[in-house]
Amino acid sequence: MDVAVVRWLNALGGHNVVFDRVMAVIVSDYFVPVASSTVLLALWFLGSNDATRYRNQLTTLAGALSVGLANIPIAIVNAFYFRTRPFVDLDLEVYFYKPTDSSFPANSAAVAFAVATAVHARNRLLGKGLYVLASLWGVSRVHAGVHYPTDVLAGAAIGVGTAIAAMYLIRRLEAVPRRVLHVLRLLYVA
């Protein structure tokens, strides 16, 4: 099934210039991470009052922490299991550079879904938008022959799980982020 989906999505390229250009933007290492980071940065500074801004800043901290935490299970999996990329295993049109690290799990999906989950817990509308971007990023990377669908699904699960863990940690250790934010406010950074 993995192979069939990769072949089908990969075959969609090269027929429509607009589609190819849109996919080239989405699949890049920049568009979705920059969009996600911009949302986190905006949340950091937005809020009509101190309480709202504080909750938004906790969301930003949860998003950043979840991205960091997502790298732990990925590193553990990669230490014991290496999966070659679809463009190595299959005769595909390559629409992206050729990464050499393990395809499984998709680090890109873990990062994007981690941020989307953290934001969605605070702001449903922004979170849904980030989930759409994360999903498009995952599909585009399958289309480009960089990941198998199961790589993206595993990465997404890791991202969601680490975001939930990050939000839990921040709630349980609320005194620590509260003090950090207090110091950052004194420095006019928060």
Length of the chain: 190
b/e sequence 96-123, b meaning 16+ C-beta within 10 Å = beeeeebbbbbbbbbbbbbbbbbbbbbb
Report the share of the chain in percent with pLDDT over 90. Answer: 85
Question: What is the CATH classification number for the domain harbouring 131?
Answer: 1.20.144.10
Q: What spatial distance separates the first Cα and last Cα of the chain, rounded to whole Å?
A: 48
H/E segment holding residue 14: none
Identify the domain containing residue 69 by its residue range: 2-186
pLDDT band per the 50, 70, 90 thresholds, residue 188: confident
Rounded to whole angstroms, the Cα distance separating 187 from 190 reads 8
pLDDT at 190: 78
Say if residue 97's pLDDT is above 90.
no
Task: Output the pLDDT for position 37.
Answer: 97
Overall number of domains in the chain? 1
Looking at residue 174, its pLDDT comes to 86
pLDDT tens-place string over residues 23-44: 999 999 999 999 999 999 999 9
Taking residues 119-126, what's their average pLDDT? Answer: 96
* Predicted pLDDT of residue 182: 86
**Residue tagged 């550079």 (tokens):** 97
Question: For residues 20, 23, 24 and 30, what is the CA-based torsion angle, rounded to 10 degrees?
Answer: 170
The count of C-alpha atoms lying within 13 angstroms of the C-alpha of 188, restricted to the half-sphere facing its C-beta, is 0
Q: Report the alpha-carbon distance of residue 139 to residue 143 in Å, rounded.
A: 6
Which pTM value belongs to this model? Answer: 0.93
Structure confidence by residue, pLDDT tens digits, 164-181: 999 999 999 988 888 888
Q: What is the dihedral of CA 92, 97, 102, 104, to 10 degrees?
A: -60
User: Is pLDDT of 111 > 90?
Assistant: yes
C-alpha span between 141 and 45 (Å, rounded): 32
